Amino acid sequence: MPQTYTHHFDTPLFKKDVVINTGLFINNEFVDAADPTPIEVVDPTTGKVVTSVQGATKADVDRAVEAAQKAYSTVWGLKTPGTERARLLNKLADLWEAHMDELAAIEALDGGKQFLQAKTFDLTNGLNTLRYYAGFADKVFGKTIETDPTKFVYTLHEPIGVVGAIIPWNFPLMIMAWKLGPALATGNCVVLKPSEVTPLGALKVAELVRLAGFPPGVVSVLPGLGRSAGQALIEHGAVGKVSFTGSVATGRRILAASGAGNLKRVTLELGGKSPNIVFDDADVEQAIKWTAMGIFGHAGQMCSASSRIYVQEGVYDVFMQHMVAFAKSMTAGSGFDQDMTKIDPVASQAQYDRVLGYIQSGQKEGATVLTGGAPLGNTGFFLQPTLFGDVRADMQIVREEIFGPVGVVVKFKDEAEVVKLANSSEYGLVACVYTQDLARTTRLARELEAGSVYVNQMAIPDWRVPFGGYKLSGIGKDLGEYALEGFTNVKAVHVNIGQRL
């Protein structure tokens, strides 16, 4: 039988022993993997191994998909009315809320996230997402379409069947809710693969799925490596859709697998290299605070991070003076500090090395380090908040997503120049604009090539509003009513009521 891991939390913010199953969750049971090769889970604040979980392989994906197919055809899908799906989603939300502190502590343990931040933002967003889609579960309906008097025509919005969901390590439980909510509300079964970096929270939520009363097979959770469990999931012929949040490189592989296989539906929320534009008329004090949070929050490990900072020349000097001072004031956080201004670690040794590589690349290519540029402290995967100046458009640090606490700063003259600079990226996830000019706000909202535009704030997704990008930032939308479209097939029904041959 699969083992469990008990972690003793003894901090001023949370004191409790939390038990986590470390096997695979299939058919509402925690089971052993077919080839139970362990995957080590590391605390990024210390760099030390916490525990290990079993890693799924193709055989386990086959088992989970088979269970999902059975559940879909016998007890879920079109067999279960929307009111019942709503009840179960609301029950899961109630359990999520009741276990909020435990889930936040787990996010701090294997993801390096600050406990208070995880609780007040990540898990609250996830909670609201589940309740939001519970409200939609009995409201998934089509339309009647007038054609001619001899026909009655209508559409049905039906579940796809088995959905493969792959979630990242930066906001694992929040994005888990983003996937489960619309998929389950519309009647699909879900086989979910969490990142091997942060698998513990998803395994804890699997326990809540069972407690909520979802039928066996409706939700499976399979920790595993991308090259084994992930690849098997995206190539499986019985999986009708893959919903993925992560890197562009993996997104390309998913599209290729879909094209080579069963042409499964695909939603991809990928990377970003988001412009953050500060105009002379901005509330500079607020712009500094929002911008700093937008690039240094969770150590910059956000697809929507404000990593390209454009500052108009009239406020550039004062903005940079305070921005650099803010960056220099940040110290390493433990995850359970009550001071939420401390910086998080990056999530893994691999990511730590990757971000340092980008910093070294910027220095070699001639950019100026305005602040930071080095490790922070002697333990864990902490990096100094880093800003580069004197950058060129062809530099790696300007073109590529770094996914760390690293931003580039560019001075600009006027609106036309900055719009051209902002749109020069291959990415198009979000854009942030700081100005008091309402007319300018309206113009830039139309001109900027991004899936979301935030005015006078950093990018903060809302469960009621669609989230997804242009260009390399992805295909389709998470969140809001728009997300439901990605989890249903539309069927047109033509009924002849009068035409005779």
What's the CA dihedral at 448, 451, 456, 457 to 10 degrees?
A: -150
What is the signed CA dihedral for 492, 495, 500, 501, rounded to 10 degrees? 40
Look-up of token digits 């992805």: 474
Q: What is the CB neighbour count within 10 angstroms for residue 303?
A: 27
Dihedral sign for Cα atoms in the order 375, 376, 380, 382: negative
How many CB atoms are closer than 10 A to CB 328?
Answer: 12
DSSP-assigned states of every residue in 167-204: --SSSHHHHHHHHHHHHHHTT-EEEEE--SSS-HHHHH
**Alpha-carbon gap, residue 237 to 185, rounded angstroms:** 23
DSSP state of 120: I
Angstrom distance (rounded) from CA 307 to CA 405:
8
CA distance 234 to 215: 24
Distance, C-alpha 264 to centroid of its chain: 21
Tell me if 14 sits within 8 A of 101, measured CB to CB. yes
264 contacts 277 by C-beta, under 8 angstroms: no
Closest Cα to residue 452, out of 404, 322, 444? 444
Which residues have CB under 8 Å from 207's CB, separation 6+?
21
Q: Are strands 427-428 and 368-371 parallel, antiparallel or unpaired?
A: unpaired
Give the residue among 159, 217, 227, 163 at the shortest CA–CA distance from 192.
163
CB under 8 Å to 329, separation ≥6 — which residues? Answer: 341
Cα gap 429→35, rounded to integer Å: 38
Question: Active-site residues: which are they?
Answer: 269
